[in-house]
Amino acid sequence: MTYPAADGVGRTFAGIRELPVPSTVVGAYAEQRTALVMDDGSTLTQPLVAALRADGWRVEVVGLPDGIATSVEADSVRSLRTWEAEELARVVTAGRLDLVVQMAAAAGQNWSDAARRLGHTVLVAKQTQPALKAAAAAGGRAAFVAVTQMDGASGYRGGGTGSALLGGVSGLVKTLAIETPEIFARTVDFAPGMDAPTVAARFLGEIQDLATGIADVAHDADGRRTVVPSAEAPAVHVTPVPEISTRDLLVVTGGARGITADCLEALVTARPAGLLLLGRSEVSADPGWALGLEGAALKGTIAKRIAATGEKPTPRGVEAVYREVTGSREIQANLARLRATGATVEYVTVDITDAEAVTRALAPYAARVTGVVHGAGVLADRLIADKTQEEVAKVLGTKIVGLGNVLDALRGTAALRHLVFFSSVAGFFGNRGQSDYAVANEALNRLAVRLKHELPSARVTSVNWGAWDGGMVTDDLRRMFASRGVELVPVETGAGIFAEQFTAARGHDTVIVAGPLKPLSAAPADGAAPPVSLLVDRTLADIAAETVLADHAIGGRRVLPATAALGALVNTTETATGKPVTEVSGFRVFKGVVLDGDGSGNGADADAGNDGQARGAGRLRLFMEPGQATAPGSVDVLASAVDDAGRSRPAYGGVLGTDPTAGRPADRPDLVRAAREADRTDAAHLYRDGTLFHGPTLRGIRGILAADERLLLIGARLGDTRPARGAYHGRFHSPVLADLMLQAALVWVRRFRNRACLPMEIARARYFAELPTDQEFLIAVENIVAGPAGITCSVTALDREGRVLQVMEGVSVVEDPQLEGKFGPAERTGAATVTV
């Protein structure tokens, strides 16, 4: 199936990305802090309340109506009797508020109850927003955190016992983050069955997370993950999904008007399936007085007819009649063009939010229905602060309750093979002024995954549409989107994408973004260097269990690689500032960190000279403050190793720059030429003869291309293992691949001074591009200055065309006689503990 292509418009899939353990901000919240927990009666409420109180929080609990509150010990416990906004405003009184925990983890919610609860979350955000903004303005963090219990993957695995619809709360959270960026906003999903202590500990880690730009985080026993756009479709189900054909009858909500009608025309032009369109509007022929009239002429005639009855014509009254006439015209025109394709098309007038009416309307057709296209939706755009309960209920009622009524009416009689929902990027990304619409569409996304899990042989797809170039998009909106670089979806292109979703190839698409992969709202401004000093804790337990640590052992003791320590500084700086680190100056290894696996407690530093007092699981505490360097956007970072007893000492430090304006150095054709003219010798022996101590995951030096005291040129290739799920990576920095650059310096020292050594300082590192994973690149050791106890040199990484990728200048390599004999094969046994 072909359709007109459009620049920047395509199909993207919802995927899952594994996340590292969060780095936590020490003292993120005020010393005297208050949390409000909206209790939905789920089993998660009690451990979360207990964890907050144990962490020094004053905790106020408000139970939702219908007697569903959990029995908890808190500083204050109140219950709502109704779901009304007025009572919520009375119970949630104005006062200090640093954290709102919106529980949305209850199981077994039906359509109406889920919509009511989701609507209530919007009202909670509205009611608590002023207090949270005040707390943020006073200093410290203020947060709104929703908690779900679906499947440990934010509902994207499809299993679990929690309500998939309640996952729609994520749309509220993402919109809140856009409308009030000063508030930390996140949805946290926990897999069913996780034990209470683990849930509590991970929740505290989330609310203190240094990263503020992640909206959805999910946990299970194996770790932490988030939802991201992906160019690749998820793994295909084994069960085949049939294509649509003339034997199919699709129930379509909202299909007689707007873009849904355009989509249906493209579909039945290719495959003339039967269509049963549901809509609220009555369809009738034009009254005689309206024939031939349009626009202002039609409105003028309507005003005159109203005045003739003795009533005063008002703009609202005129508009109501105008919409009735023009709506009926649009429906009749759409029905005519759909029937012109040869498809069988019927229109039934029914309000899909009326369950009984829907059941009656569908009864004559139910046995023949094979699919549902849910295109109905209404908008009531306002900021969260201005939302009304009636508007929210209308938006959610159409999208959620309306769909539920249709599916319930077909349950038990129809054999549904095709379920396609019109969702929106307003839900996938959040959108300013559309919190309720975002909630409704996110609920459809999570529901689609759940239904696909339950109906693997059916086509179940939620299409998150971008803004279409038609319909309600005015010239002003077009200009606004153009200024943000957001492409609009041409009608023919969008309709073609929709029709293509019914082919066999697209049978297993579940949640897709159709259009540009950009939010409709302007993203918050990039972060900046910390305006004040910041303390951040990073666990070392995540990397202690990694094979790369076992492969970086000296004398049997696991030493944190200097490039992993540098990676911790880079990763933390990028998380804090929202900008990639492009330069590091003055990086030093003071004492380093040893993860001692032999249980002896003797310990060893990076230079094998530690006296080894305290051991424990360990962490790094990073002190960050705006840099004193002249480079803009620089951050001074000092990392201290801290053991379980709280004892610490400086381990690493440096100044990290985030200025992207630094120019790329000139290409190095001389090095490429030297590599081509060289007699390459295999370098595998370097990992056996005591030159290098590194184990298999770090053995990437493959060949010696040139070797004299002025230049050592090496060919390197290694796959990037991304230890600790990328917690030690930066935008350009890889701790695994960068280690090869330092290994090259060790090779020079062994070859020309015959001594064992370790790197201790990098005067300056500059990043221009990523080092290639599992592809050969060149490493050059140059500008060698020998001293009595080691050397300094520069190390350059470049691709095979001579393009400079990264440069380390002033690399200080220190020789140590105690290291001789310790550069043996790495051992991979023993539980790691940190020696500080």
> What digits encode the pLDDT tens for the residues 779-810?
999 999 999 999 999 999 999 999 999 999 99
Would you place residue 613 in the very low, low, confident or very high pLDDT band (cuts 50, 70, 90)?
very low
pLDDT at 138 over 90: yes
What is the Cα–Cα distance from 712 to 783, expressed in whole angstroms? 10
Residue 671 is assigned to a structural domain of this protein: yes
| pLDDT for res 169 | 98
287 and 224 fall within a common domain = no
178 and 324 fall within a common domain = no
Would you place residue 611 in the very low, low, confident or very high pLDDT band (cuts 50, 70, 90)?
very low
Residue 477 is assigned to a structural domain of this protein: no
686 and 549 fall within a common domain = yes
Which residue of the set 374, 552, 694, 733 is catalytic? 552
pLDDT at 3 over 60: yes
335 and 204 fall within a common domain = no
Mark residue 541 as left, alpha or beta (left: phi above 0; alpha: psi -120 to 50; beta: remaining): alpha
| pLDDT for res 831 | 44
Residue 307 is assigned to a structural domain of this protein: yes
Q: For residue range 657-705, what is the model confidence (pLDDT) as tens digits?
A: 988 776 789 999 999 999 998 889 999 999 999 999 999 999 999 999 9
What is the Cα–Cα distance from 158 to 150, expressed in whole angstroms? 8
Lowest mean pLDDT among 281-295, 345-359, 495-509: 281-295
Tokens 């789920």 found at: 42
Would you place residue 603 in the very low, low, confident or very high pLDDT band (cuts 50, 70, 90)?
very low
pLDDT at 523 over 90: no
Q: Taking residues 153-157, what's their average pLDDT?
A: 94
What is the Cα–Cα distance from 330 to 328, expressed in whole angstroms? 5
Lowest mean pLDDT among 237-251, 366-380, 690-704: 237-251
Enclosing H/E stretch for 645: none
| pLDDT for res 272 | 85
In sequence order, what are the residues at sequence separation of 6 or more whose Cβ sits closer than 8 angstroms to the Cβ of residue 727? Answer: 20, 21, 23, 538, 542, 543, 568, 571
Would you place residue 407 in the very low, low, confident or very high pLDDT band (cuts 50, 70, 90)?
very high
By percentage, how much of the chain surpasses pLDDT 70?
A: 93
Confirm whether 679 is a catalytic residue. no
At residue 460, the 3 state secondary structure works out as strand
Residue of 679, 687, 821, 799 whose CA lies nearest to 746: 687
| pLDDT for res 258 | 86
338 and 207 fall within a common domain = no
Residue 600 is assigned to a structural domain of this protein: yes
Which CATH number covers residue 153? Answer: 3.40.50.720
Q: Taking residues 635-639, what's their average pLDDT?
A: 95
| pLDDT for res 631 | 66
Instruction: Please report which residue ranges of 418-544 form alpha helices under DSSP H.
Output: 425-429, 435-454, 475-483, 491-500, 541-544
pLDDT at 48 over 70: yes
What is the Cα–Cα distance from 47 to 55, expressed in whole angstroms? 12
Pairing of strands 615-616, 619-626: unpaired
| pLDDT for res 396 | 98
Query: Distances in Å between the alpha carbon of 637 and those of 118, 627, 650, 659?
Result: 43, 8, 11, 16
Residue of 727, 740, 746, 721 whose CA lies nearest to 806: 740
Residue 689 is assigned to a structural domain of this protein: yes
Which CATH number covers residue 669? Answer: 3.10.129.110
Higher pLDDT, 257 or 561: 561
Which residue of the set 39, 436, 643, 739 is catalytic? 739
225 and 287 fall within a common domain = no
What is the Cα–Cα distance from 637 to 650, expressed in whole angstroms? 11
| pLDDT for res 67 | 66
Pairing of strands 249-253, 274-279: parallel
- Long-range CB contacts for residues 684-690, cutoff 8 Å, separation at least 24: 686/747, 686/750, 690/750, 690/756, 690/820, 690/821, 690/823, 690/824
Domain boundary among 321, 343, 365: 343
| pLDDT for res 181 | 96
Q: Taking residues 179-204, what's their average pLDDT?
A: 97
Q: For residues 546 and 180, is the Cβ–Cβ distance under 8 A?
A: no
Q: Taking residues 11-21, what's their average pLDDT?
A: 95
In sequence order, what are the residues at sequence separation of 6 or more whose Cβ sits closer than 8 angstroms to the Cβ of residue 483? Answer: none
Domain boundary among 343, 358, 390: 343
What is the Cα–Cα distance from 162 to 160, expressed in whole angstroms? 6
pLDDT at 290 over 90: no
88 and 176 fall within a common domain = yes
| pLDDT for res 524 | 53
Q: Taking residues 349-360, what's their average pLDDT?
A: 97
Residue 755: how many CB atoms within 10 A of its CB? 18
| pLDDT for res 530 | 60
Q: For residue range 720-750, what is the model confidence (pLDDT) as tens digits?
A: 999 999 999 999 999 999 999 999 999 999 9
Residue 146 is assigned to a structural domain of this protein: yes
224 and 320 fall within a common domain = no
What is the Cα–Cα distance from 101 to 144, expressed in whole angstroms? 6
127 and 224 fall within a common domain = yes
Is 527 exposed, middle or buried (CB count within 10 Å of its CB: 0-12, 13-18, 19+)? middle
Residue 401 is assigned to a structural domain of this protein: no
pLDDT at 585 over 70: yes
- What pTM value is reported for the model? 0.91
Instruction: Please report which residue ranges of 24-72 form alpha helices under DSSP H.
Output: 45-54
Residue 38 is assigned to a structural domain of this protein: yes
Q: How many domains does the chain have?
A: 3
Higher pLDDT, 346 or 663: 346
Positive/negative CA dihedral, 703, 705, 706, 712: negative
What is the Cα–Cα distance from 570 to 567, expressed in whole angstroms? 5
| pLDDT for res 399 | 97
614 and 689 fall within a common domain = yes
Domain that holds residue 66: 12-229
| pLDDT for res 482 | 78
Pairing of strands 583-589, 594-596: unpaired
What is the Cα–Cα distance from 345 to 275, expressed in whole angstroms? 5
Q: Taking residues 139-157, what's their average pLDDT?
A: 95
Q: For residues 306 and 322, is the Cβ–Cβ distance under 8 A?
A: no
Average pLDDT, the chain: 90
287 and 225 fall within a common domain = no
Residue 687: both structure tokens together:
């990992």
pLDDT at 237 over 80: no
Concatenated DSSP letters for 167-226? GGHHHHHHHHHHH-TTSEEEEEEE-TT--HHHHHHHHHHHHTBS--S--EEEEETTEEEE
Q: Taking residues 375-379, what's their average pLDDT?
A: 93
109 and 180 fall within a common domain = yes
By percentage, how much of the chain surpasses pLDDT 90?
A: 73
Confirm whether 219 is a catalytic residue. no
| DSSP symbol at 640 | E
| pLDDT for res 69 | 67
Give Cα 377 to chain centroid, integer Å: 26
Domain boundary among 194, 229, 264: 229
